[in-house]
Amino acid sequence: MKKPVALVTGGSRGIGFGIAKALAEKGFDLGINGMRPEEQIAEPLDALKAAGAEVAYVRGDIGDANSRKSMLDGVRARFGRLNWLVNNAGVAPKERLDLLEMTEESFQRVVNTNLGGSFFLSQAAARWLIEQKEADADFKGGIINVSSISATVVSINRGEYCMAKAGMSMATQLFATRLGPHDLPVYEIRPGVTQTDMTAGVREKYDKLIEEGLCVTPRWGYPEDSGKAVAALATGAFPYSTGQVVLIDGGLTIPRL
């Protein structure tokens, strides 16, 4: 039998790599998207291959239409199929500025990449998923969006990031509704405070907050926490839960007195 294929954007580092590794261990072949030249990410790609995956590196910027087409074309050329799109790639603001100081340039950069890029990649992938489902009623696949607790938890020094993630949450519901008649589920995971290169600059701040009780589970999140959740979704553990959100936040968003 042919192995299922997942395209993981931003899959060579951080949460994306944690997801890609978990999928490789569950028997998936992988399209890995990133911005760096392939020779610079030989180590993570080798680790995914060692975990059992055949890997195609499809370099490109999800915020660019030509790159999105090239990524899907690369997966099609290598594998001839796509089961799951995992929208993980994203950028943080270059500067954390107060809401009243946020620049239009920063807003456009973050929203175009984190929301616009993921939306239009999902749109193109959805057409392909429907095509495969119509050709084979037993085809299994869908879309998983990697959002953030920032979809609902306010940070006034990175409002553009919060708005992009809130928009991604609506995109999850939109695509779940549109693809539901085709039995192609769409899910969202919302990681909380997770140890990645994106959070390296605020490590000390969150070490202190976690020690003071920020999370119910008293530790940072790890990329593998998100990886385990995505692997469960992609392997069919929740077939009747399309459109739902899985929080990977150690209980951070539980209202507490």
pLDDT (tens place) for every residue of the chain, 257 residues total: 799 999 999 999 999 999 999 999 999 999 999 999 999 999 999 999 999 999 999 999 999 999 999 999 999 999 999 999 999 999 999 999 999 999 999 999 999 999 999 999 999 999 999 999 999 999 999 999 999 999 999 999 999 999 999 999 999 999 999 999 999 999 999 999 999 987 888 899 999 999 999 999 999 999 999 999 999 999 999 999 999 999 999 999 999 99
Which residue is it, tokens 């990697």?
146
Tokens representing residue 100 in the block: 């009243």
76 occurs within a structural domain: yes
Residue 128: inside a domain: yes
Is 84 within the bounds of a domain? Answer: yes
Which long-range contacts link 76-81 to residues 24+ away (Cβ below 8 Å)?
76/128, 78/31, 78/54, 79/5, 79/29, 79/31, 79/54, 81/2, 81/5, 81/132
Look at residue 257 and tell me if it is in a domain.
no
Number of structural domains, the chain?
1
Phi, psi of 237 (to 5 degrees): -70, -20
Answering whether pTM is above 0.85, one says: yes
Give dist(CA 87, CA 93) in Å, integer.
Answer: 18
For residue 80, give the CATH number of its domain: 3.40.50.720
CA distance 74 to 19: 20
Is residue 252 domain-resident?
no
Residue 38, in any domain of the structure? yes
Q: What is the residue range of 205's domain?
A: 5-247
In a domain, 122, yes or no: yes
In a domain, 35, yes or no: yes
The pair of three-digit structure tokens given for residue 113, joined into one six-digit string: 């990449």
